[in-house]
A and B are shown apart, each in its own frame.
Chain A
Amino acid sequence: MTVSILHRVTGSGMATVGVIVFLWWLGALAAGERDYARFMDLLTVKSGAPNIAGYILGIGLTLSFFQHMMTGIRHFVMDAGAAFELKANKSFAVLTVVVSVLLTAALWGYITYDQLKAAPAGNAPIAVETK
């Protein structure tokens, strides 16, 4: 029961907040280097790591996506007529939340690890821009 409202909330959230961020990002990218840097400045600190707003939006949207993805897959299974038994249904519902949290943690763990590993922008493949 609870996860079906999660599906609606995450879907609607991505369709509004997610789409605005997406358009803003693409628009700034198309507008050119200066505008893109301004966009990134709003979401990151100097090193390129996310700031508070970047983390809230980034983690919020990835968690929403994975939750919606898992409940979406649950929809597919149930449309096929499976997992209607009370117990299976309940475990599947719980599973969607567990898996989406794990995937989000894995993704952000990877991103953070990568940034630590990359250390000061020394190995950037292109000329490092200065702000």
Chain B
Amino acid sequence: MTDEKMVLMANQIASFFGTQPGGDQAAGVAAHLKDFWEPRMIAQLKDYLAGGGANLNPLVVEAGESL
């Protein structure tokens, strides 16, 4: 998958959890990613984060730490 598409998908997830009440929004993103993203996709996201994670929603960046 292109990084662009991955960023879009991850940010969409973050946008949802970003609107949810409570302080565990990044945890929500991380849990969602773990439940629904296949290891290859998670690996791609981690690589991308390692490379700076440009354009990623901060919640994704935060979630990335627990992946």
A binds B: no
